[in-house]
Chains A and B, each alone.
Chain A
């Protein structure tokens, strides 16, 4: 909790100068603002809407000068007020220090600051001068006092952080406005370069990400969120040869000692991301993958028509090899080698990214007896990928299929089934359409392609004859009052059982971690939901030197979260192997601080903006595409990319803290 001595944020002014520390009440909306890093108190905090001082001995003018300096560095340079204004303000503040308080100079400074605030093109310029203006407005006597004390002569330890709502929402903290800026500027190579700083799977992410960033996009207040994912795909596809030519071992500035080898288990998004960062840090990395192809859930769980494996996924994974990493396929931990074996082979640290691939069963009578015509969703997709797509083997799936579940895997199953010739494809989901967790676009696409949806319907029995599935018994559900978490409850409707004849049943109701990769005595613990127990901060498991991330730790989640965990795992392993302790990372601290003050950050778009509709992404027409595995979403043109990029309002804000050390 934070005790504010003086502060001004939006319309609120806080002045506790006449109180002693123990008399000051804590400021409710500020999260944990006591220390920046352990033993280093935060003395002041500046943001785009004001400032807070938590200590009497802090020079606010100094802090503001440093704040403006950072803003000047971040200024994109397009508009005049911010580009020149930030630098001139810094110079004028420093001049003021030489001359002392001068009415005229203060007036000029205020004029310039107000001008920046009112006429800058983007959020950065508009907010950069706000702490200064708030100080001048609410506490002019402090300004006088500081100047007469020769404030700006000495340096004050401070750190700054520049971010935007989209960046903060992204688990990987991709610098979204930056890569969109590069598109606006015509530098597509650099745009994808920004994305590649975070993970190698840019084209993959640009096709399948759930887009937390777009959910936070402020453009939604004007018309629609910016097509951030579509733009990522655009630049990644444009730079096709990036995956072939850009990466080699020259990228590694400081190779580590030869014996520092790290084993990564799983070549899925989390493992690949971890391997990527570890290789760039200079470690030797070997990846062990149980399947015969890389990509994990992205390869198995996402069908070809959403993510082409050969041209896109595999090429991006090959970057690991270009950087000197090795990937061993058909190496299943628990079958071909154990954790102890790895240690014996000389791996100093291990990152477990085995994912959650075991399908949950429906647990209804008759399920155990069904042998023919029953397969779990993820397995179904894996096998189709393997035999139909890769080997070109025609598959006989019967004439009717029922998929149970409402997530993306279920949608992928039904759309794939259609493409493989199943005439009638059904989806059975327990709740209503609104509650279906799958992407809205997937549900719509499946509907267009002719999938038959059964909402508020739940399986009660699997019917089979001699082990071969002939039908599934379903029960109708109805919506009841929501449960504690606010989720709508459903209760069965009595005597509503009916049978749906079918050749094939595919339960796609969720996945869990397959524990067969590790024996009980290896020192690795799991939590109550069956996921690997790993520390929230540094992803360390209960066994020393072993870290874990991705679906295996979080449970089935998203591609981007898995990749973010991979990056964090790499950082932790780097800390463990090189530094011996978890390093303090200022950026992560800032992210936490900002999360803790969410309520003070919601911002409305304050100026009228012309409506420009979001880029329309063309698709292959439903009738043609439902029988083909060709990529459904067509690429956008260069002109469309420029136009879409121009919709980004560049919501950057600078945040800074003044610390004791």
Chain B
């Protein structure tokens, strides 16, 4: 289980944390990653920015996510590091 934490502190909230959360939830649901990725929220993690981005912690590093491209960021940063699901048969 790897932790994916979205900051929902005041600044990130105003930058669209909710949208990021919803996107991530959807991907995790459709790709059935619930037992591989633990999605949590956290109040301010101290990485507030003025660029309109939302701070996200993935495993041991910080990423900034633009709500408009949340799906792409997830692909690039998160999915690429998950062991591929073993094929059936």
Q: A-side interface residues toward B, CB under 8 Å? A: 371-375, 379-380, 383, 386-388, 391-397, 466-468, 504
Interface hub of B9, B40, B43 (most chain A Cβ within 10 A) = B43
A-B contact pairs, 27 of them (CB 8 A): A371-B44, A372-B43, A372-B46, A373-B43, A373-B44, A374-B44, A375-B43, A380-B43, A383-B8, A387-B41, A391-B21, A392-B25, A393-B8, A393-B25, A393-B39, A393-B40, A394-B38, A394-B39, A394-B40, A395-B41, A395-B43, A396-B40, A396-B41, A396-B42, A397-B42, A466-B46, A467-B46
Q: B-side interface residues toward A, CB under 8 Å? A: 5-6, 8-10, 13, 18, 21-22, 25, 38-46, 48
List the B side residues contacting A387 at CB < 8 Å. Answer: 8, 18, 21, 41
B43 contacts A391, CB within 8 Å? Answer: no
Q: Which residue of B lies closest to A380 (CB)?
A: B43
Q: Which residue of B lies closest to A395 (CB)?
A: B41
Known contacts A371-B44, A383-B13, A386-B18, then 13 further A-B pairs from the complex at CB < 8 Å, ordered by chain A residue: A371-B46, A372-B45, A373-B43, A375-B43, A379-B10, A380-B43, A383-B8, A387-B21, A387-B41, A391-B25, A393-B6, A396-B42, A466-B46
- Contacts A387-B8, A393-B39, A396-B5 given: A375-B22 contact, CB under 8 Å? no
A371 contacts B42, CB within 8 Å? Answer: no
List the A side residues contacting B5 at CB < 8 Å. Answer: 396
List the B side residues contacting A375 at CB < 8 Å. Answer: 9-10, 43-44
A14 to chain B minimum Cβ distance, whole angstroms, is 65
Distance between Cα atoms of A368 and B21 in the complex (Å): 28
A329 to chain B minimum Cβ distance, whole angstroms, is 13
Distance between Cα atoms of A397 and B40 in the complex (Å): 10
B54 to chain A minimum Cβ distance, whole angstroms, is 13
Distance between Cα atoms of A375 and B42 in the complex (Å): 12
* For the complex of A and B, 5 pairs with smallest distance between CB atoms: A393-B41, A394-B40, A395-B41, A372-B46, A396-B42
List the A side residues contacting B41 at CB < 8 Å. Answer: 387-388, 393-396
List the A side residues contacting B13 at CB < 8 Å. Answer: 383
Distance between Cα atoms of A383 and B46 in the complex (Å): 17
Distance between Cα atoms of A34 and B40 in the complex (Å): 67
A330 to chain B minimum Cβ distance, whole angstroms, is 11
A393 contacts B48, CB within 8 Å? Answer: no
The residue that B21 contacts in the complex, of A380, A393, A466, A467, with Cβ under 8 A, is A393
List the A side residues contacting B40 at CB < 8 Å. Answer: 393-396
Distance between Cα atoms of A373 and B7 in the complex (Å): 12
A391 contacts B10, CB within 8 Å? Answer: no
Q: Which residue of B lies closest to A392 (CB)?
A: B25
List the A side residues contacting B46 at CB < 8 Å. Answer: 371-372, 466-468
List the B side residues contacting A468 at CB < 8 Å. Answer: 46
List the A side residues contacting B42 at CB < 8 Å. Answer: 395-397
List the B side residues contacting A388 at CB < 8 Å. Answer: 41
Q: Which residue of B lies closest to A467 (CB)?
A: B46
B48 contacts A371, CB within 8 Å? Answer: yes
List the B side residues contacting A393 at CB < 8 Å. Answer: 6, 8, 21, 25, 39-41
Q: Which residue of B lies closest to A374 (CB)?
A: B44
Q: Which residue of B lies closest to A504 (CB)?
A: B43
Distance between Cα atoms of A39 and B71 in the complex (Å): 72
Distance between Cα atoms of A371 and B48 in the complex (Å): 9
- Contacts A383-B13, A396-B5 given: A391-B22 contact, CB under 8 Å? yes
A165 to chain B minimum Cβ distance, whole angstroms, is 46
List the A side residues contacting B25 at CB < 8 Å. Answer: 391-393
A391 contacts B44, CB within 8 Å? Answer: no
Distance between Cα atoms of A467 and B18 in the complex (Å): 24
List the B side residues contacting A383 at CB < 8 Å. Answer: 8, 13, 43
Distance between Cα atoms of A393 and B13 in the complex (Å): 14
B39 to chain A minimum Cβ distance, whole angstroms, is 7
List the A side residues contacting B10 at CB < 8 Å. Answer: 375, 379
Distance between Cα atoms of A391 and B21 in the complex (Å): 8
Interface hub of B22, B39, B41, B45 (most chain A Cβ within 10 A) = B41
List the A side residues contacting B44 at CB < 8 Å. Answer: 371-375
List the A side residues contacting B45 at CB < 8 Å. Answer: 372
Q: Which residue of B lies closest to A379 (CB)?
A: B10
Interface hub of A371, A391, A393, A466 (most chain B Cβ within 10 A) = A393
A385 to chain B minimum Cβ distance, whole angstroms, is 12
Distance between Cα atoms of A162 and B9 in the complex (Å): 53
B8 to chain A minimum Cβ distance, whole angstroms, is 5
Q: Which residue of B lies closest to A388 (CB)?
A: B41
List the B side residues contacting A396 at CB < 8 Å. Answer: 5, 40-42
List the B side residues contacting A373 at CB < 8 Å. Answer: 43-44
Distance between Cα atoms of A392 and B40 in the complex (Å): 10
List the A side residues contacting B38 at CB < 8 Å. Answer: 394
List the A side residues contacting B39 at CB < 8 Å. Answer: 393-394
A417 to chain B minimum Cβ distance, whole angstroms, is 12
B48 contacts A391, CB within 8 Å? Answer: no
Q: Which residue of B lies closest to A376 (CB)?
A: B10
B68 to chain A minimum Cβ distance, whole angstroms, is 17
Distance between Cα atoms of A36 and B5 in the complex (Å): 66
B27 to chain A minimum Cβ distance, whole angstroms, is 14
B69 to chain A minimum Cβ distance, whole angstroms, is 20
Distance between Cα atoms of A318 and B70 in the complex (Å): 33
Distance between Cα atoms of A374 and B42 in the complex (Å): 11
A27 to chain B minimum Cβ distance, whole angstroms, is 59
Distance between Cα atoms of A143 and B46 in the complex (Å): 84
List the B side residues contacting A386 at CB < 8 Å. Answer: 18
List the A side residues contacting B22 at CB < 8 Å. Answer: 391
Q: Which residue of A lies closest to B24 (CB)?
A: A393
List the A side residues contacting B48 at CB < 8 Å. Answer: 371
List the B side residues contacting A466 at CB < 8 Å. Answer: 46
List the B side residues contacting A372 at CB < 8 Å. Answer: 43-46
Q: Which residue of A lies closest to B3 (CB)?
A: A396
Q: Which residue of A lies closest to B22 (CB)?
A: A391
Distance between Cα atoms of A57 and B63 in the complex (Å): 87
Interface hub of B18, B25, B42 (most chain A Cβ within 10 A) = B42
A397 contacts B43, CB within 8 Å? Answer: yes
